Structure 1
């Protein structure tokens, strides 16, 4: 069994309101075990013997069927997520700044988003399948990454999480 972190895009923002208890129940019924949700923003831990692509496909189709919305889910095994968080290239906790990781599961989106690090005066760095960025609090949606992420062509293959949220997910996955 592999422990996976599932990140649901756009949950409990923009009109898609889901109760995390209902999400957990639905994913358990779909065959995942040890299902645990964290916060109300679409962060879920599951165990599965399937590969990440199959976990993603099952989670998306199950959530679409159960809740009637266009569900998009990015899936990472916990070891990979731990590596992504450990590679955050900036000081993680800076007063007045938000630290983010944008997960990217598509080559076209990767191309669009990775060039932002080269062409912006904002604090952006490219990682392994992710974009790391920091932005002053209150400027997230007006930042170059925020504006680019808002593009509809990226909604099925990208999602962003605050570094603090990712730390909570990792702690819940392995609370040693």
Structure 2
């Protein structure tokens, strides 16, 4: 269900993807505390998945305003500047359904999607360096990435695709995308 009624407000089910949190000893965000903070700020049915910054919530805000509000809330509560990329439950389902590289993928843990706030420049994607084994596919605001050697091995390991493409994004592996779609339904 993409939209729900709370009182007289019509809300949309969103998936918020926080960038670069809980990857090491710094930039720590407690998921129970984050759920508490967002619920207190009026978001509905707040849930998190894993500790890597996946939040499901209902809001009556449009996407850009919600992204800014979540970034601001995290800054105020955790003293961190964390970009947040937001998709509706329907949009995330469309990302999963599109699956442009699915025929190549033999291990979903080595297949990922980088989510961006704005559409990517196709010319910049086309001009990105080629890395042996890496296969890229662009879809509006998502970059699908198949690395058969994994994210820690091979020539494309450690490439900061957001820097190559000139826009900050946040990456999720295919298993996580699939689970988020299920949870958001």
Please give the TM-score of this superposition, normalised by the length of structure 2: 0.80
Are 2:110 and 1:98 equivalent residues in the alignment?
A: yes
Listed as ranges, the matches of 1:27-42 within 5 Å are 27-42=38-53
**1:106 shift after superposition:** 3.4
What is the CA distance between 1:125 and its match in structure 2? 0.8
Contact 1:5 1:44 in 2 (8 A): yes
Whether contact under 8 Å (2:17, 2:53) holds in the other structure is yes
Which entry has the higher C-alpha Rg, 1 or 2? 2
Counterpart-to-counterpart distance in 2, 1:81 and 1:110: 20
Deviations 1:10-36 (CA, angstroms, capped at 9, x unpaired): 111142111111111111122211100
1:13 matched to 2:23? The reply is yes
CA RMSD between the two structures? 2.8
Q: How many residues align?
A: 172
Indicate conservation of the 8 Å contact 2:46/2:58, yes or no. yes
Q: CA deviation at 1:91?
A: 2.4
Greater helix fraction, Structure 1 or Structure 2: 1
> Structure 1: any 5+ residue segments left out of the alignment?
none
8 Å CA contact 1:116–1:144 kept in 2: the answer is no
Q: In structure 2, which of residues 65, 68, 78 is the aligned counterpart of residue 57 of structure 1? A: 68
**Structure 1, residues 94-134: CA drift from partner, whole Å, max 9, x if none?**
14861100111235x64686236784542111112111111
CA change 1:7–1:145 in 2 (3 A) is farther
User: Quick one: distance in 2 between partners of 1:39 and 1:26?
Assistant: 17
Q: Does 1:3 align with 2:41?
A: no
Q: Does the residue aligned with 1:31 lie in a helix, a strand or coil?
A: coil
Does 1:77 find its partner at 2:88?
yes
2:170 is the alignment partner of 1:159: yes
- Confirm or deny that 1:169 pairs with 2:184: no
Aligned-partner Cα distance in 1 for 2:116–2:91: 13
Unaligned runs of 5+ in 2: 1-10
